């Protein structure tokens, strides 16, 4: 079985008020990324403080945290998140500058979804609609191909995977794709509260089986992620390790009562891999497994 890729999602929108261990400043992101790789992560994903920062300003802010990482670890695989904005260029255009600066992956979100939480009556309440149309997805595919960025593919809903597989079947999916199966957990990742209002499939073995049925015949590497939950406690990490998949972990995704650090979560996945006799992928191994173009 090929080495296990651990992707560490260090911060996301998780505030320090929810977990004081989350890295936010560029200095914290640099230290957190280097420590995560030393602990066993092959890929590191982070956000900057403001999602409304776009274009060159976003590139500058990301690279304040990333440049020291790349100087110390030229093999590092880093990627940032999308921005808010009125069009697809505003939301994803900063990936061009990040590619020039040495970043090797970018977000590729092949669908749309409601992200929200429950109101006082328990019904779906406050929400945002995260929308990526088929036209936007085609634009993203061109961007990743032109900039030689490996697509970090988030799968919030089964339809997102079906769209991804259509691109793979047509030979139009950019090189280096990594499919992350996002399962909606017990805690809302927008506010950290226990909630039955979430997205996608639950973090269960049956739900994983449903995704793996869709992936039959595909050559795409895949990982599990429990958004608003613990990928270890749900059993998804163990299932993925046993079935040849990979694992995403970190404080962006974590939901629960305890307040772990990123290194604690990575160590728990490393221990599961050791128990299963599965070696860990280095960044160089991950680049080979994914077929990153740079």
10-residue mean pLDDT series, the chain (294 residues) = 97 95 98 98 97 96 98 98 95 98 98 88 84 97 98 98 98 98 91 88 98 98 98 98 98 96 98 98 98 94
Residue pair 174/150 in contact by the 8 Å Cβ criterion: yes
DSSP 134: H
The CATH number of the structural domain formed by 6-290 is 3.20.20.70
pLDDT the model gives residue 79: 98
Residue pair 228/187 in contact by the 8 Å Cβ criterion: yes
Task: Read off the pTM.
Answer: 0.97
Q: Are strands 43-45 and 222-227 parallel, antiparallel or unpaired?
A: unpaired
Residue 273 neighbours by CB distance under 10 Å: 20
pLDDT the model gives residue 1: 84
The size of the chain, in residues, is 294
Question: Cα dist. 55→38, 85, 97, 129, 164 in Å?
Answer: 31, 10, 8, 22, 26
Question: Cα dist. 50→84, 116, 247, 278 in Å?
Answer: 9, 19, 27, 38
What are the extents of the domains in the chain?
Answer: 6-290
pLDDT the model gives residue 195: 86
pLDDT the model gives residue 191: 83
């Amino acid at each position: 079985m090929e080495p296990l890729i651990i992707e560490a999602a260090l911060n996301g929108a998780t505030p320090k008020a929810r977990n004081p261990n989350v890295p936010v400043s560029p200095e914290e992101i640099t230290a957190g990324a280097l420590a995560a790789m030393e602990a066993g992560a092959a890929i590191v994903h982070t956000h900057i403080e403001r999602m409304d920062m776009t274009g060159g300003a976003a590139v500058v802010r990301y690279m304040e945290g990333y440049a020291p990482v790349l100087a110390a670890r030229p093999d590092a695989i880093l990627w940032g998140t999308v921005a808010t904005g009125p069009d697809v260029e505003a939301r994803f255009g900063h990936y061009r500058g990040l590619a020039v600066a040495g970043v090797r992956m970018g977000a590729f979100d092949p669908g749309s979804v409601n992200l929200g939480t429950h109101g006082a009556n328990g019904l779906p309440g406050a929400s945002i609609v995260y929308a990526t149309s088929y036209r936007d997805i085609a634009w993203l595919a061109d961007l990743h191909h032109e900039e030689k960025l490996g697509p970090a593919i988030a799968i919030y809903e089964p339809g997102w995977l079906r769209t991804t597989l259509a691109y793979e079947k047509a030979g139009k999916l950019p090189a280096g794709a990594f499919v992350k199966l996002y399962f909606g957990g017990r805690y809302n990742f927008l506010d950290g509260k226990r909630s039955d209002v979430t997205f996608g499939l639950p973090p269960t073995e049956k739900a994983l089986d449903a995704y793996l049925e869709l992936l039959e015949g595909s050559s795409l590497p895949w990982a599990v992620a429990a958004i608003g939950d613990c990928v270890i406690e749900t059993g998804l990490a163990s299932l993925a390790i046993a079935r040849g998949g990979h694992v995403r972990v970190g404080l962006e995704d974590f939901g629960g009562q305890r307040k772990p650090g990123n290194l604690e979560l990575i160590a728990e996945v490393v221990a599961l891999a050791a128990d299963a006799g599965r070696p860990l992928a280095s960044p160089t191994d991950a680049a080979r497994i994914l077929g990153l173009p740079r």
